[in-house]
A = this chain, B = another copy of it.
Amino acid sequence: MRVGWIGAGVMGRSMCGHVLRAGHEVYVYTRTKASADGLVAAGAHWCASPAEVAQKSEVVVSIVGYPHDVRAIYLEDGGIVANAAPGSVLVDMTTSSPSLAQEIAAAAAVRGIDALDAPVSGGDVGARNATLSIMVGGEAQALERVRPVLSCMGSTIRHMGPAGAGQHTKVCNQMLIAGTMIGMVESLLYAVSAGLSMEDVIAVIGSGAAGCWSVNNLGPRIARGDFDPGFFVKHFVKDMGIALEECRRMGLFVPGLALVEQLYQAAMAQGYAHLGTQSLYKVLCAMSGRREDGGK
């Protein structure tokens, strides 16, 4: 298929590489041209604008930064919706706002174009190994048409409902992570402060009713003082912002999410935007007047 591709960050670069290697013809645009160099060297065709990508492709895939980036490439003058051919399918894989996904789908429908929201989970490792989970909102028929492209990147592709349902599912995912993160960092701060070995505690509690991906995967990093990003604080803050906005719109009481978002705002304020989400631990240590090994 002729696949348009917009965005070549850590995730997008790996994902687009899989699509190229599967033999699809790829038309790529990125805001910073250099980001696409590797993809172009591997056979992708460079395009000067989102409009050009849209004009040349049957399917357009995007994975960019923030909802305002998504809005810009899809809905502004010279954007994808205005330039894609009727009958094409647009797939936004950015973690973005459910309401925006609905707005794009409605604008696309007017021109006879299908738009899907298809955010992913699985992180950089899942992107590299093509084992992402892809949560899809929009017309089920449109999903079937782009499945050959999505299946290059993900091992689980699930239709969740109408436009916005993919993003709603991703919100659920991030809300649950907010809970596991605060539970994990408080638990490990307690462990070291009580004189326990963090590694021993993780080994015992990680496999029972307290078990979670966060403690088993990020816990050991905290134990060895590794705060490098798997997932950036600044991106998680963006995701929680989207979640809170949707919760406000629906009138939902979500005090856990609200608290965790605030603590991550503190992480940002303390300079941890480009560290991994496990650096929430550093915020709690600072607030508790403790060193990261639990000492005072």
List residues of A whose CB falls within 8 A of some B CB. 98, 121-123, 126, 133, 135, 156, 158, 160-161, 164-165, 168-169, 171-184, 186-191, 193-197, 200-201, 203-205, 207-215, 217, 231, 243, 246-247, 250-257, 259-260, 263, 284, 287-290
Contact = CB atoms under 8 A, between A and B. Distances in A.
Q: Which applies to chain A's interface (DSSP): helix, strand, loop or mixed?
A: helix
A156 B103 CA distance: 53
Contacts of A186: 175-176, 178-179, 252, 254, 256-257
B254 A180 contact: no
How many copies altogether? 2
A173 B256 contact: no
By CB atoms of chain B within 10 A, which of A122, A176, A257 has the most?
A176
A194 B194 CA distance: 42
Given A98-B194, A190-B254, A207-B133, A177 B171 contact: no
A294 to B, nearest CB: 9
A132 to B, nearest CB: 9
A237 to B, nearest CB: 16
B259 A193 contact: no
Contacts of A214: 209, 212
